[in-house]
């Protein structure tokens, strides 16, 4: 007598059947496209470690915005490279800052395109850290300590200035304790209670950020960010971080990076009833792009598989440098 078995292959017989039973579906509406903006004119500068990704001056943004909009990508994430930096990150919150000017331009030309403003200080401080720094001497050496509470005031000023410029969503990425509560209160007090916060709730001290630091010119000038970004070995800590942000008023939670933290994403999704954002970061993008340029992999197949894995793990939105390519491939 033969042993009965289930014929799972019946539902894989053709592309049409596979499409009908597919559990996880990607759509261009899932994506958020990062954009790097800088001062000057005539600037469209490719980032050497991120082929296909550029820094744009404001006069060169039109073509990029038009393409993003026509592909059905609903949102952009803005990063700014300022003209000048100082220890306080002053250019992060001035009315004529690069992110503020870019926001006004985008909303005037493409009002339906959502502007997500990254709210951090690392691009704007001369020391490259995400908060205020106290320099002191220890054992004869000059050391720097990133100050938590003193940083919150500057982050609030930055978030409010971004909201005043027209940002649709504030996305604080600094990982200071209490940053969501401080920014929520600051926005509410200035009449921006309707502006949601997309919190970088679970942000690891990751080696996958390397290309971004070239793109944004934001590498720390001393030490590292391990005192405020999370240890990659920790998963339970992610729950504590996310829970704090939920209680403090976050509207969306994020896990960054995503590809190496799919388990964390799934846990966060199961635990909290808020939209979840995956950040497919620069190093993840660059690994695939570099291999594709060598002809070693099928870039389209690999990118779509990676993005599908993030959505399968629970992501409602995906920030990715592959957004435009993926949107084109999905329309084919």
321 is in an annotated binding site: yes
State whether residue 140 is helix, strand or coil.
coil
Q: At what angle do helices 262-271 and 299-312 cross, to 10 degrees?
A: 30
Pick from 23, 8, 26: which is nearest to 307 by CA?
A: 26
Which amino acids are annotated catalytic?
203, 256
225 is in an annotated binding site: yes
Which two structure tokens, joined as six digits, stand for 316? 């409602």
120 is in an annotated binding site: yes
CA count, 13 A, side-chain hemisphere, 179: 30
241 is in an annotated binding site: yes
130 is in an annotated binding site: yes
State whether residue 260 is helix, strand or coil.
helix
Q: At what angle do helices 179-189 and 236-248 cross, to 10 degrees?
A: 20
Q: How far apart are CA 115 and CA 159, in angstroms?
A: 13
Q: Which residues contact 326 (CB under 8 A, 6 or more apart)?
A: 26, 28, 31, 303, 304, 307, 320
143 is in an annotated binding site: no
Q: Cβ distance 118 to 78 under 8 Å?
A: yes
Give binding residues for Mg(2+) as ranges.
241
Give binding residues for 5-aminolevulinate as ranges.
213, 225, 282, 321
Give binding residues for Zn(2+) as ranges.
120, 122, 130
Give binding residues as ranges.
120, 122, 130, 213, 225, 241, 282, 321
């Amino acid at each position: 007598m033969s042993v009965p078995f289930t014929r799972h292959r019946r539902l894989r017989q053709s592309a049409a059947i596979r499409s009908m039973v597919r559990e996880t579906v990607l759509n261009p509406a899932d994506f958020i496209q990062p954009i790097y903006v800088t001062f000057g004119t005539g600037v469209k500068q490719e980032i050497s470690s991120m082929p296909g990704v550029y820094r744009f001056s404001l006069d060169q943004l039109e073509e990029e915005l038009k393409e993003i909009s026509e592909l059905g990508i609903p949102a952009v994430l803005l990063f700014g490279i300022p003209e000048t930096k100082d220890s306080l990150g002053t250019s992060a919150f001035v009315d004529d800052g690069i992110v503020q000017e870019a926001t006004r331009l985008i909303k005037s030309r493409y009002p339906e395109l959502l502007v997500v403003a990254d709210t951090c200080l690392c691009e704007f401080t001369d020391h490259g850290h995400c908060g205020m720094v106290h320099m002191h001497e220890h054992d004869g050496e000059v050391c720097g300590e990133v100050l938590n509470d003193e940083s919150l005031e500057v982050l609030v000023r930055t978030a409010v200035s971004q909201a005043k410029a027209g940002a649709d969503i504030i996305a604080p990425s600094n990982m200071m304790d209490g940053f969501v509560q401080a920014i929520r209160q600051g926005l509410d007090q200035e009449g921006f209670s309707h502006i949601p916060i997309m919190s970088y709730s679970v942000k690891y001290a990751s080696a996958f950020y390397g290309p971004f630091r070239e793109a944004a010119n934001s590498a720390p000038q001393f030490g590292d960010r391990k005192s405020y970004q999370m240890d990659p070995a920790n998963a339970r800590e992610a729950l504590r971080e996310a829970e704090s942000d939920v209680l403090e008023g976050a509207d969306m939670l994020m896990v960054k990076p995503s590809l190496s933290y799919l388990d964390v994403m799934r846990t966060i999704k199961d635990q909290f009833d808020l939209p979840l954002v995956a950040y497919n970061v620069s190093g993840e993008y660059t690994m695939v792009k570099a291999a594709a340029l060598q002809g070693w992999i099928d870039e389209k197949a690999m990118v779509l598989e990676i993005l599908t894995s993030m959505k399968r793990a629970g992501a409602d939105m995906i920030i990715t440098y592959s957004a435009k390519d993926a949107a084109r491939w999905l329309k084919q």
